[in-house]
């Protein structure tokens, strides 16, 4: 992969996001981004989205997704489709960093979401969870309270 062909690097805590296609390039049909998750990192807060689907394709490493309570490992070459309204989150439990491609259809989630989230998360100290939730909601993600 040639990094010069990828878009701007957006950091959200330890996670790196690069958009491959934005809504303006696809007539709003989809957005596509790659994200790198260091080993041992759990992201994001459990959430759903009512206005778009998400399809993830494993490139490197393995993320363990929980979708509507069901655990699914996504590694190189694996594909997971997440329907609108499905509650999901993931964690990299592996021994190496993971890299995943995500496709959002229609293209309603763009770089601004990750930039805004990065401003909250990267501000130093623990992030303000109310601000994180507000950013998520502004961009069409519905946070779901975690049960322990």
**CATH, domain 3-140, list 3.20.20.80, 3.90.870.20, 2.60.120.10, 1.20.1050.40:** 2.60.120.10
Distance of alpha carbon 67 from alpha carbon 2, whole angstroms: 32
Q: Mean pLDDT for each consecutive 10-residue tract of the chain (148 residues)?
A: 66 96 97 96 87 98 96 98 97 95 98 96 89 95 79
Backbone angles phi, psi at 129, to 5 degrees: -60, -30
pTM equals 0.91
Residues 64 and 90 sit within 8 Å (Cβ to Cβ): yes
Contact 107, 23 (CB under 8 A): yes
**Closest Cα to residue 98, out of 72, 62, 73, 65?**
62
User: Where do the structural domains in the chain lie, given as residue ranges?
Assistant: 3-140
* pLDDT of 125: 84
Distance separating alpha carbons of residues 130 and 111, to the nearest angstrom? 20
Q: Which pair of structure tokens corresponds to residue 132?
A: 């994180």
pLDDT at 99: 98
């Amino acid at each position: 992969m040639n990094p010069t062909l990828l878009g701007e690097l957006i950091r959200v805590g330890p996670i790196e996001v690069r958009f491959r296609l934005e809504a303006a390039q696809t007539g709003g049909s989809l957005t596509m981004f790659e994200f790198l998750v260091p080993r041992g990192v759990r992201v994001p807060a459990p959430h759903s989205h009512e206005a778009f689907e998400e399809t993830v394709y494993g490139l490197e490493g393995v993320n363990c997704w929980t979708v509507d309570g069901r655990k699914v490992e996504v590694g190189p070459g694996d594909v997971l489709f997440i329907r609108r309204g499905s509650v999901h989150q993931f964690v990299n439990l592996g021994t190496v960093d993971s890299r995943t491609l995500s496709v959002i259809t229609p293209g309603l989630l763009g770089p601004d979401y990750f930039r805004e989230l990065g401003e909250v998360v990267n501000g130093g100290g623990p992030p303000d969870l109310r601000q994180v939730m507000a950013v998520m909601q502004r961009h069409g993600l519905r946070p779901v309270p975690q049960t322990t």
